[in-house]
Copies of this chain bind each other. A is one copy, B any other.
Amino acid sequence: MTFIDRHTSGVFIIAATPFTEAGAVDEASIDSLTDFYLGCGVTGMTILGIMGEANKLTAEEARGVASRILRRVDGRIPVVVGVSSPGLDNLKSLSQFAMDQGAAGVMVAPTPGPAVEDRVRGYFHQVCDALGPDVPICLQDFPQTTGVQISTATILTLTRDCPQIVMLKHEDCPGLAKVSAVRNGSATADTPRISILCGNGGLYLPQELARGADGAMTGFAYPEMLVEVVRTHQAGDADRAEDIFDAYLPILRYEQQPGYGLAVRKAVLKHRGAIACSRTRAPGPKLTATDEAELMRLIARTEANVKELSHGS
């Protein structure tokens, strides 16, 4: 069994949850989507996150999705399961299920509430106590969605005090200074290293890698770009990595529109054959005909960019 740890790097793709036209979980598309991600060369997967519409699934559906993906992956790559929940009991129960099924760790965001940092620290201690020391945790720092800001000092304190908090999903924005601060403040005499994977749709990935991030954890519908950028950057060719990134940037910045972006991602995934239907569960975003045309134009321009990039190389 592989667990995430303090040195995990690469690209953990955030997985969409595919639905049929009738709105049921689409099991066949779960398989094809998993195969698609594996085919893109991702290092890991993160499932049942916000992008996975986890909060619109029944508990049974959520477990079913996790099981099916974990079976399909079959240990080839580590899978992190999002378990954030208003109540600790439900969080614990889903975590145990996920770990039993072979997950590599769980992802937890702070619960909404006053952003005072002692509350946030207290909450993560409660989570660690509830899960027991054997469950590796990825701390999700996503204030735009959770409404809870976490300072670098709190992240480093938790890194020190909770041995099982091994990874940071960084998506504070603006957040580049925070990547530097966490990178420079961990792996020191008194604070262990923490793995940093970056979200925010990948919008600042080249800068984040240059500042010491270990990779990306996001759901961009061209995962092969993320993989290539991280690989090329780690191989030492930051310029080439950024050229690749820039070729996809127009569609990446389009996909990164908060809320609406999920519909874009699913439409691209469908366009690329990874899922059969782009439906989101209600209430959720939907593309109009104008949106579709706009997106198709961006897809065409992206594909032309990518072609040119390979010819140019």
- Measured CB to CB, the residues of A under 8 A from B are 23, 53, 55-59, 86-90, 93, 111, 113-119, 123, 126, 130, 143, 149-154, 173-174, 176-177, 180, 203-204, 207, 210-211, 242, 246, 249-250, 253-254, 257-261, 281-283, 288, 290-291, 294, 301
Contact indicator A59/B56 (Cβ below 8 Å) = no
Contact partners of A115 in chain B: CB under 8 A: 115-116, 149
Whether A180 lies near B58 (C-beta < 8 A) is no
CA distance A58 to B60 in the complex (A): 11
Q: Is the CB of A114 within 8 A of B87?
A: no
Hey, which chain B residues are within 8 Å of A123, CB to CB? 283
Residues of B within 8 A of A153 (CB): 117-118
A291 to B174, CA, bound (A): 12
Chain B residues, CB < 8 A from A261: 174
Interface SS of chain A:
helix
- A55 and B86 contact, CB distance less than 8 A: yes
Docked CA distance A208–B290 (Å): 12
Q: How far is the CA of A29 from the CA of B126 in the complex (A)?
A: 27
Query: Distance (Å) between the CB of A206 and the closest chain B CB?
Result: 8
- A19 (CB) vs chain B CBs: closest residue: B89
The residues of B that contact A260 with a CB separation of less than 8 Å are 174, 177
Q: Which one of B93, B180, B242, B257 lies within 8 Å of A174 (CB-CB)?
A: B257
Q: Nearest chain-B residue to A147 (Cβ)?
A: B147
B87 in contact with A149 (CB, 8 Å)? no
Q: B56, A87: Cβ atoms under 8 Å?
A: yes
Residue in chain B with minimal CB distance to A86: B55
* Bound CA–CA A148/B263 (angstroms): 23
Report copies per complex: 4
Q: Are A111 and B301 in contact, with the CB atoms below 8 A? A: no
Known: A126-B282, A130-B282. 18 other contacts (CB 8 A): A53-B87, A55-B87, A59-B59, A87-B282, A87-B283, A88-B281, A111-B283, A115-B115, A115-B116, A116-B150, A116-B151, A116-B154, A117-B153, A173-B257, A174-B259, A177-B291, A210-B294, A246-B250
Across-interface contacts of A126 in B (CB, < 8 A): 282-283
Residues of chain B within 8 A of A116, CB atoms compared: 115, 117, 149-152, 154
Cα of A143 to Cα of B151 in the assembled complex, Å = 18
Task: Quote the shortest CB–CB distance from A300 to chain B (angstroms).
Answer: 10
Rounded to whole angstroms, the CA-CA distance of A176 and B116 in the bound complex is 15
Other-chain contact of A207, B111, B113, B288, B294 (Cβ < 8 Å): B294
**Nearest chain-B residue to A23 (Cβ)?**
B89
| Closest-CB distance, A306 to chain B (whole angstroms) | 13
* Bound complex: CA A93 to CA B58 (Å): 10
CB distance from A34 to the nearest CB of B (A): 23
Contacts of A180 in B (CB 8 A): 290
